[in-house]
Amino acid sequence: MNFKLNFDIKSPARKINYSDNLFFIGSCFSENIAEQFDKHLFSVISNPHGILFNPKSIANAMQDVLNNTTYTEKDIFFEQGFWRSFHHHGQFSNADKTVCLAQINACINKAHEQLKKTEHLFITLGSAFAYNHIQQNTVVANCHKIPAKEFEKVLISKEEITSTYNKLIAELKVFNPNIKIVFTVSPVRYIRDGLVENNHSKSILLQSVHELIAANENCFYFPSYEIVIDELRDYRFFKEDMVHPNELAVKYIWERIQQSWIDAATIEFINEAGQYKRLLEHRVLNESERGKHEENIETAKNNLISNYPNLNTL
């Protein structure tokens, strides 16, 4: 008997190789997948503006990276003892204005350089709901716990999403002709909006993404949403909050990515890279074994360099 709904995932003509440069942007789920690639020695940039959820803020962040935008004092504000940016996650907030701007601009610059050579850009859309700052008339990435009366909740339409991203995709293709853009929709349920509203939001995102893929030959879809919601569809694959996929679910999606989107030689690389990373993370309790352990690390590293000459992370 089969107790799970299985479905085939369409593989791209050009699969991911160990030497590829990868760029991830979007929701917390995007970071989960980026971490899997990062810990297996891929060249990865993840969320240079921090975690983002709505498609408008994600597109704005990509424009910053494309243009290598430099933020100045006029682009941030002081609230509750910290300098903050409406376009960045709270992790960039700092009591020191200079440090805040330095962190923001360093991340944008690093991401800009990575984008020049990126083969695969993963964009994970989380929710079509967003918050518009009334006075500034701009969609924000983070409200930073500012009083709710200063914002209005908006639902970004399919038409606005597709218009914004068709323009962004065209600019990305000029900037980096080799880039392939992989859209995913986060399987995280945003229950703060309500379950019915969450499904409405996800439907807008899904329809938008499929229209974008149909209109742009360098765009693809990876069905992380369907894997969690339709294939796994069990609360044992979620954290205690019942909305975020747990470690088991993330590992399963990572397996599905390997099966469908990563080439055969790179699967072997992933296995060897995993062994190398485990050696690095192993704690030597007996000092008499430290020399042998360090020798094993060096051997594993040299084997990776020898077996994978295009590896650019060692």
Q: Say what the pLDDT of residue 314 is.
A: 84
Closest C-alpha to 24, from 83, 111, 131, 90: 111
* pLDDT level of residue 283 (50, 70, 90 thresholds): confident
Contact (CB, 8 A) for 35 and 245: no
Note the pTM of the prediction, 2 decimals: 0.94
The pLDDT of residue 175 is above 70: yes
Q: At residue 149, what are phi and psi to the nearest 5 degrees?
A: -65, -15
Contact (CB, 8 A) for 66 and 175: yes
Point out which residues pair with 183 in neighbouring strands.
123, 221
- Helical pair 97-117 and 158-175, crossing angle rounded to 10 deg: 70
Q: Say what the pLDDT of residue 107 is.
A: 98
The pLDDT of residue 60 is above 70: yes
* pLDDT level of residue 6 (50, 70, 90 thresholds): confident
The pLDDT of residue 253 is above 70: yes
Question: 28-48: per-residue pLDDT in tens?
Answer: 888 999 999 999 999 999 999
Q: Say what the pLDDT of residue 287 is.
A: 84
Please measure the distance between the N-terminal and C-terminal CA atoms of the chain and give it in whole angstroms: 46
CA–CA separation, 251 and 5 (whole Å): 18
Q: Average pLDDT of 274-285?
A: 89
Q: Which structure tokens are listed for 257?
A: 């990515």
The pLDDT of residue 122 is above 80: yes
Within 10 angstroms of residue 180's Cβ, the number of other Cβ atoms is 19
Q: Average pLDDT of 184-213?
A: 95
* pLDDT level of residue 233 (50, 70, 90 thresholds): confident
* pLDDT level of residue 1 (50, 70, 90 thresholds): low
Q: At residue 102, what are phi and psi to the nearest 5 degrees?
A: -65, -40
Strands 129-133 and 120-125: unpaired
Within 10 angstroms of residue 286's Cβ, the number of other Cβ atoms is 8
The pLDDT of residue 224 is above 70: yes
Q: What is the DSSP string of 40-104?
A: TT-EEEE-TT----SHHHHHHHHHHHHHTPPP-GGG-EEETTEEE-TTS-GGG-BSSHHHHHHHH
Closest C-alpha to 77, from 143, 148, 154, 149: 143
